[in-house]
Every structure is written in structure tokens, then in C-alpha cells.
Amino acid sequence: MARPRKITDERLLAAAGVVISRLGPGFTLADVAREAGVAVGTVAQRFTSKHGLLVAMSRTAVESTRHGMRVAVEEAGDPVTAVIDVLVRAFAPLDDPETAPNNLAQLAVDLADEELRGLLAELYAALEEGLVPLLERAVREGRLPGAPLVPAAARILTAVADGTTLHWSARPAGGLCDRMRADVGAVLAGWCHGSDAGAIEEGM
């Protein structure tokens, strides 16, 4: 019988996330090992290379996002509020003006790599697909009469959230989560055409 691993992948990936936030794309496996409190060989053996580590992080992020969106749909009360909440939660880890630029710098590196770019596309797809049931319900209940077709609405809201994160990282007045609620809420309020717009703005 194989012996259980004392050092879990989750521990190493969490350490990598901390290191990237602190150092950006210039981090090394040694930095990750130091943060995790393990030997460099442990990280290298588990993920082979820095690229392998980044791939594992991206795959984990995709699965975590898919799971989180399923839970959000199952537990949603008001679907419009839930749309705002899930996007805020998705980008909340970047709500630190000191570390957000490092994470976004790593994003730029990921975009230049074909495999990592493909996984990033899966991550955005998971966000959009998770928003669809919430938006369909909101439209069905007459909450968003001015919304475009639901798949397009999901894509637009994801793009707004992504753009808000980039804009805020350069001009971090207030918190990212507050900015996200305001920006996504403003789009949804426009799709409400009056009846629910005030309620959405009050909840921002």
C-alpha cells in the first residue's frame, strides 16, 4: 500500500499563491518551498517545474470555480444579488493594492503561454457558465427585462468584473470588492429598467 503524502498538493499550491502575490512572476520553486516549509526537491518532484506548478494552480482554480458556481446557484436567494456576490467572491483574492499588481503580472505571463492561456479560458468559461442559471432565473422572474441574451449577458458581466480588477489595480481608491459591487451593480441596474434598479443600487 502506498504511504500517504505528508505534504499535500493543496499546501504547496497555497504556498505558491502566497509567493506569487508577494513576488510576482519572478518567483522560483525555492521561494515556494521556503514558504511551504519543505525542501525544494519536494516541490520539484511533485510538479516537475515552475511551469508544471502554474498548470496545477490553474487547473485547481478552474475546478474550484466550477464547484463554487454550482454551490452559488444551489444556494441563491435573490438571483440578481447572487450574480453580484459570485463575481465579488471570484475576484476578492485580488483585493489588496500591494499584491494585485504581482498577480496581474503573473496573468500577463500566463497569457503568453499556450497551455496556461487555455486554462485561463476555461476559468472564464466556468465563471460565465455559472452565471447563466442565475441570469436565466432573473430574466424568467422579470427582474432583468433589459438584459441581452443570457450567454451574452454572462460574458459581459465577466468582462466588466475583469476590467474593473485591472482598472482598480492601477487606481486602487477604496477596495476592489466595493468597486466590483458598484460596477457590476450598475450594469445590472441598467438592465432592470427602473423597477429593481433602486434595490440593486441600495445593495451595492
DSSP states of the chain as a string?
-PPPPSS-HHHHHHHHHHHHHHHGGG--HHHHHHHHTS-HHHHHHHHSSHHHHHHHHHHHHHHHHHHHHHHHHHH-SSHHHHHHHHHHHHHGGG--TTTHHHHHHHHHHHHTSHHHHHHHHHHHHHHHHHHHHHHHHHHHTTS-TT---HHHHHHHHHHHHHHHHHHHHHS--S-HHHHHHHHHHHHHHHHHTTTTHHHHHHT-
pLDDT at 13 over 70: yes
Cα separations in angstroms, 80 against 38, 196, 204: 45, 10, 11
Angle at alpha carbon of residue 7, lines to 4 and 11, rounded to 5°: 130
What is the overall mean pLDDT for the chain?
91
The model's pLDDT over 160-194, given as tens digits with 9 standing for 90+, comes to: 999 999 999 999 989 999 999 999 999 999 998 74
pLDDT digits (tens, 9 = 90+) for 137-149: 999 999 999 999 9
Q: Are 153 and 102 in contact (CB under 8 A)?
A: no
Residues of the chain with CATH 1.10.357: 64-202
CATH 1.10.730 at 64-202, yes or no: no
Task: Indicate the pTM of the whole model.
Answer: 0.85
Q: Within 10 Å of residue 71's Cβ, how many Cβ atoms?
A: 12
The predicted pLDDT at position 5 comes to 60
1-48 CATH pick, 1.10.10.60, 3.40.190.10, 3.30.1300.30, 1.10.3720.10: 1.10.10.60
What gap in Å lies between CA 77 and CA 180, rounded to an integer? 20
Domain with CATH 1.10.10.60 in the chain: 1-48
Q: Round to whole Å and give the CA distance between 13 and 33.
A: 10
pLDDT digits (tens, 9 = 90+) for 46-92: 999 999 999 999 999 999 999 999 999 888 889 999 999 999 999 99
Cβ-proximal residues to 172 (8 Å cutoff; 6+ apart), any chain? 97, 100
Average pLDDT on 91-115 reads 94
**What distance in Å separates the CA atoms of residue 117 and residue 190, rounded to the nearest whole number?**
32
